[in-house]
Structure 1
């Protein structure tokens, strides 16, 4: 069975929002909605010694980190948040009671209330749409004009994501928390 993850070549992001639009369209989320499954944030990166005066704006695509030790899954009182067979952190809307424990536990702010279903939702790597249809890319990866996102099976040594993670330096957000995110930022 696959163990899915995503690598982000974030320095290639041009903040066009095509990924956000594709995600909303794929998942039936209103285009004007403020809360959604993925987003592109803006941050500042400061240069390292000896060039500490260099500061540049950087775009950071982000979403659920699909942690192997997901705090949101641990605190869910109804087991609405669970891992599927591919290690994707999912939400069962039938079990969600909107207690928001998962929202509070998520260190990545990746959970939000879906006002259509009145459940707490998040990215699921298109598991119930594209992957369920046998496709091998997520909507956000498929639409990105600068190829920022690489999605695939982390356990397949021949997959594109495995090759990229073997050959390029990368980091995970808040790795010090021990959540073991499966979203990797390429440097």
Structure 2
């Protein structure tokens, strides 16, 4: 069997706002996949929710014909990430292999400089040692670290699934193909609004969606070079 050479992938995500229904299936799937504890209603009221993805709502129209638009918001995996240069312990790092922004939990000392410097408000701070009650503790994903108190957390494009997909392709003696790796949020989306893949591959679905006339990036004028692409919906927010 010929040896498969590993090529750098430019992982990215496209979210079609025209078909997103705001059902929160992606939020729930992300929590289960990445061992995110539920902080409860009281703590969430203080802004201490730990979800790595949230559904933002935008209202348009006049009363009584007011309609919502939904926009899933997660770490934008910036190519020029403002969170990285402000971390004093290099816990926020850019992976050259996956071309995504990673969070090294055992380095993080909880300064929250990265959260203050993130224009997308996509990072959360683990305030307490949240306990996951039985029997939910048996559902913890063994492939994902259970974070300790006092560290920053964020979306990593389900990097454990990226590694698993790469290893599977390598074992089969072939390169990673489009659709081999699907993050939890995309897998759970009932309307196929979330597409994940290699942006450097012009034939991939995510690359084709990025070239759509409806595509845009959040706060692109800041120069952060996000790897999450949105497709405009039909409402006021989507244009």
* TM-score of the two chains, using structure 2 as the length reference: 0.71
Q: Distance in 2 between the 1:77 and 1:71 partners?
A: 13
Gaps of 5+ in 1: 48-53
Is residue 2:103 matched to residue 1:91?
yes
1:109 correspondence with 2:121? yes
| Alignment partners' CA distance in 2, 1:130 and 1:86 | 12
**Cα pair 1:21 1:31 within 8 Å, conserved:** no
Q: Secondary structure at the match of 2:211?
A: helix
Within the alignment, does 1:78 sit opposite 2:89 as a pair? yes
Structure 2 residue aligned with 1:130, among 161, 171, 175?
161
The answer to whether 1:25 aligns with 2:36 is no
Which residue of structure 2 aligns with residue 15 of structure 1?
22
Query: Which one of 153, 158, 165 corresponds to residue 198 of structure 2?
Result: 153
Report what 1:40 is aligned to. Answer: 55
Q: For residue 50 of structure 1, what is the aligned residue in structure 2?
A: none
- Is residue 93 of structure 2 the alignment partner of residue 62 of structure 1? no
What is the distance in 1 between the residues matched to 2:66 and 2:225? 29
Q: Cα gap change, 1:21/1:183 in structure 2, threshold over 3 Å: closer, same or farther? A: same
1-structure distance, mates of 2:162, 2:213: 26
Report the TM-score when normalising by structure 1.
Answer: 0.90
Is residue 181 of structure 1 aligned with residue 226 of structure 2? yes
Q: 2:12 maps to which residue?
A: 5
Q: Report the secondary structure of 2:156's partner residue.
A: coil
For these two proteins, the number of residue pairs brought into alignment is 180
Give the CA RMSD over aligned residues.
1.8
1:164 aligns to what SS in structure 2? helix
> Corresponding residue for 1:167?
212
The CA deviation at 1:46 is 6.7
Alignment CA distance shift 1:137-1:168 (3 Å): farther
Alignment partner of 1:102: what SS? Answer: helix
Structure 1 CA distance for aligned equivalents of residues 55 and 34 of structure 2: 17
Bigger Rg, which one: 2
Q: Which structure: greater strand fraction?
A: 1
User: CA 1:97–1:32 in structure 2 vs 1: closer, same or farther (change >3 Å)?
Assistant: closer
Partners of 1:25 and 1:31 within 8 A in 2: no
Listed as ranges, the gaps of 5+ residues in structure 2 are 1-7, 41-48, 129-146, 166-179, 233-239
Partner of 2:153: 121
